[in-house]
Amino acid sequence: MTDLRHFISHAPRFGSYANPVRSKVEQSPYYWWWYALTRNTTYCALCEGGGDLSLLADSQTETEQKDDAQRASTSGDSFKAHSDMLKVYDDFGDVRYEGDRYRAFCDWWRNRVNTNEQRGAYLFAEPLRGTWTRVLADEADLQSAWDDDAQIVIAVPIHQTRHHANKSLTRIVRKHIAEQKGRAISDPRSSKARYHLNTAVQPRALKLAFDIWDLRNDCAVDPIPQRIPKTLPHNVRIARAVGLKYKARSGEVATKADEHRNLTTQVARYLRTARSMITAAGEGVFPTRQ
């Protein structure tokens, strides 16, 4: 049974634990956070080494080495990024997998950590509340609630009609509890979870960036369709595979070269976004880097 916990952002729905439904899983930004981490070669090397930081330098790609050098030049601390990653490893664990990525994510999400919580809830769910709306059971419970500035004690005469009781309760609650608008409630930055998104994001935008990343790195679930000519530039084929479009400006006579240049630029932008998210995930943040 799935832990009943509250998530500010959309928690994954699997449909079936044995055979998770891809479209359901991809609707959750937490899936893309996990997936970004699986594509971070430095983090995967940390997993392979069981958390040994000394093994990381040899595992980094040229791009990751440049990122490390840039961080060192701005922060003066070249080791901090790796120590941050070790903290991520302690919390997220080993994300490497073989086979079906959606089943792997499901297993990782539902795995129990040392608090006996499912890992997904441990990382991303709001903290369990110590108190809740309830009928006070005894004098000790009443005294505890009375002494707690974070609670209000309400007496409801049982002979009162339900209609009038509801009106009175609504008025009292409005007086003592500030209303939060829907947008504020769902803002991930208001989360108290161990890890939360650092900005609101649309899962379809994450999917597009990582679909392009996967096609570029030959690890896509869905390869480029055969109907797209292989004679086209590779990035143009990728753009067409994911549905990117080129719209000429009003009054402009566009050429094939213009279209290809525009599509190539769009693909390059999404690749930079995906690469940044992959790096961010290794630092314990998502989707944007600090």
Residues 57-110 have pLDDT tens digits of 655 556 555 665 554 444 344 456 678 899 999 999 999 999 999 999 999 999
Its pTM stands at 0.78
Are residues 30 and 119 located together in one domain of the fold? yes
49-60: average pLDDT: 75
The pLDDT score that the predictor gives to residue 178 is 76
255 in a domain, yes or no?
A: yes
Residue 32 · residue 22 · CB < 8 Å: no
DSSP helix/strand/coil, 118: strand
110, with CB counted inside 10 A (0-12, 13-18, 19+), is: middle
How many angstroms separate the CA atoms of 245 and 72, rounded?
Answer: 39
How many C-beta atoms surround the C-beta of residue 262 within 10 A? 18
- Number of domains making up the chain: 3
Q: What is the pLDDT of residue 78?
A: 45
| Domain match, 101 and 61 both | yes
Percent of the chain with pLDDT over 70: 86
* Shared domain check, 179 and 90: no
Q: Is residue 95 part of a domain?
A: yes
Domain that holds residue 157: 139-188
Residue 1 lies in a domain: no
Least confident range from 45-54, 143-152, 164-173: namely 143-152
Whether the CB-CB separation of 140 and 74 falls below 8 Å is answered with no
List Cβ neighbours of 99 (8 Å cut-off, separation of 6 or more).
none
Contacts 24+ apart (CB under 8 A), 21-28: 21/102, 22/102, 22/221, 25/102, 25/105, 25/106, 26/203, 26/207, 27/203, 28/203
Closest of 181, 190, 179, 132 to residue 9, by C-alpha? 190
Torsion of CA 126, 207, 27, 184, to 10 degrees: 50
Residue 286 lies in a domain: no
